[in-house]
Chains A and B, each alone.
Chain A
Amino acid sequence: MLARTAFARVAQPAVARAAPAGARNMATLREIEMRLKSVRNIEKITKSMKLIASTKLNKAQRALQAGKEYGLANSEVFQHAPAENVGKRKLFIVISSDKGMCGGIHSSVSKATRRAFKEQDVDADSPIAVVGDKSKGQLSRTLAENLVITFNQIGRDVPTFADAAGVADLIIKSGVQYDSIAIVYNKFVSAISYESDIVEVETAEALKESPGFKAYEMEEEVTNDLAEFALANAIYAALVEGHACEISARRNAMDNASKNAGDMIANLQLKYNRGRQAAITNELVDIITGASAL
């Protein structure tokens, strides 16, 4: 786009008003100078965004360690009591955030959700709850009727348990009907990579039906509390992991952007210097030919 407009701008005066060669050169020089300036400004912005993300990344990774541990301890009971023959109406909780500039974080979870709808054996009208405006926008293009509840303003800072509890509470209170729950989030693989993952959370009904769950000694009436608490915990773990992925992806994206801006600046600088030299040479030629004609 940029290249085309630049080309158009350069091409027009050359055809329309046959300006002298030197003048045209000056015009492009000015343009190059302007672009150079704007690219430099962009580089400054991406560089500072990268720095901010880097400092946030440490905090996010520390939270991730604890959050992951918490999630693992929480899901242990589901491993011992796998759900059996549950219904096909699945609630998808998609975890992303409101802000962009972080590579494919949001489209990664959106894609995973769409893929799950296609490949898994779920009802076509299964409900979806979305945390984060970006994924909401992406999913409302294809699965708009399925979106039942959306959240924003979460994940600006490291998520707290209160955030997760609020999300879980609103989902439970909303009266959405579902047989099982799947949380779609980004899994932190390393500082430079992430992948979308789906973690299943069992509902109180599924737990009661599961033969593995019957091995546990417990009061009958706490099953509901356990399921709600487990949902909040699983959402918390996913929020924290998603947040760490987002920050590290932002850091990488901004790192790449700064590098690209650096390349562009070097390129433009070279072009500018060449153009300037050509203009000077041209002027010299003009002067010398003028002088020798006398």
Chain B
Amino acid sequence: MSALRLASSLTRRAPRAFSAGRRGYAEASDKIKLSLVLPHQAIFSSTDVIQVNLPAATGDMGILANHVPSIEALRPGVVEVIDSANTSKKFFVAGGFATVHPNNKLTVNVVEAAPLESFSAEAVRANLQEAQRVANGNGSEEDKLEARIEAEVYEAIQHAL
């Protein structure tokens, strides 16, 4: 009986899922509210978007609407936002935290972020060399650690470009 009901509800739902689905996910037409904020600028504030790809510390992940609540530390990398007009925007972020909340909200707090196209490859290369020089030099342990993190960030930018 219940199997029958399931089957009938499936057939009822099926055409709608196909008509709505450019991408074939069950709830793909729903949007998630994204807040991508920096200390000095709010890039997105509670904006409806379709999908957000995050460079989480545990691996890259994509977030759609009605994702399970979760907290992810971000490593330096590219955040890709696919907004409601289905256009993709890429930002390089320097690390922070992304939190998916139970009320279909995604907040991304990062210390620094910029659109990918605003980076200059030459400047990145020069700064990377400088950071590597300090990291391998004979400064204090703290300086070296800072420089190593800096170098990691630059490598991530280079990789993203």
Residues of A within 8 A of B45 (CB): 69
Chain A hits for B100, CB < 8 A: 216
**A233 engages B41 (CB within 8 Å):** no
User: Are A80 and B102 in contact, with the CB atoms below 8 A?
Assistant: yes
**Which one of A21-29, A43-51, A221-229 contacts B?**
A221-229
Q: Which of B15-43 contact A (CB under 8 A)?
A: 35, 37-42
Binding-face segment, B3-11, B103-111, B120-128, B149-157: B103-111
| Contact between A66 and B96, CB atoms less than 8 A apart | no
* A73 contacts B by Cβ under 8 Å: yes
B37 touches A69 (CB 8 A): yes
Chain B contact residues, majority secondary structure: strand
Q: In the docked arrangement, what's the CA distance between A217 and B39, Å?
A: 25
In contact, A74 and B102 (Cβ under 8 angstroms): no
B101, CB-defined interface residue at 8 Å: yes
Instruction: Give the number of chain B interface residues (Cβ < 8 Å).
Output: 28
Given A80-B101, A80-B102, A216-B70: A69 in contact with B109 (beta carbons within 8 A): no
Check B70 against A70 for contact (C-beta < 8 Å).
no
Question: Within 8 Å CB of A236, what residues of B?
Answer: 39
Chain B residues lying within 8 Å of A217, measured Cβ to Cβ, are 68-71
Given contacts A80-B102, A161-B111, A229-B109, contact A70 B69 (CB under 8 A): no
Are B38 and A66 in contact, CB atoms less than 8 angstroms apart? Answer: yes
Q: Which residues of B contact A76 (CB under 8 A)?
A: 35, 99, 101, 105, 107
8 A Cβ contacts from A42-70 to B: 63, 65-67, 69-70
Q: Which of B42, B58, B102, B103 contacts A69 (CB 8 A)?
A: B42
Known contacts A216-B99, A219-B58; is A69 also within 8 Å of B35 by CB? yes
A66 to B41, CA, bound (A): 5
Whether a CB of chain A sits under 8 angstroms from the CB of B73 is yes
With A77-B101, A80-B102 as given contacts, are A226 and B39 in contact (CB-CB < 8 Å)? no
B73–A70 touching, CB < 8 Å? no
B44 to chain A minimum Cβ distance, whole angstroms, is: 10
- For residue B72, CB closer than 8 A to chain A, the reply is yes
Query: Are A70 and B37 interface neighbours, CB within 8 A?
Result: yes
B104 CB, min distance to chain A CBs, angstroms: 12
Q: How far is the CB of B28 from chain A (nearest CB, A)?
A: 21
Kindly identify, within residues 39 to 74 of chain B, every residue whose CB is under 8 Å from any CB belonging to chain A. 39-42, 45, 57-58, 68-73
Task: Judge whether B97 and A226 touch: CB under 8 Å.
Answer: yes
Chain A residues contacting B109 (CB-CB under 8 Å) are 70, 73-74, 229, 233
The residues in A between 218 and 244 inclusive whose CB is less than 8 angstroms from any CB of B are 218-219, 222, 225-226, 229-230, 233, 236, 240
Given contacts A66-B42, A73-B37, A222-B71, 12 further A-B contacts (CB under 8 A): A66-B40, A69-B35, A70-B37, A70-B38, A76-B35, A80-B69, A80-B101, A215-B102, A218-B72, A225-B73, A229-B109, A236-B39
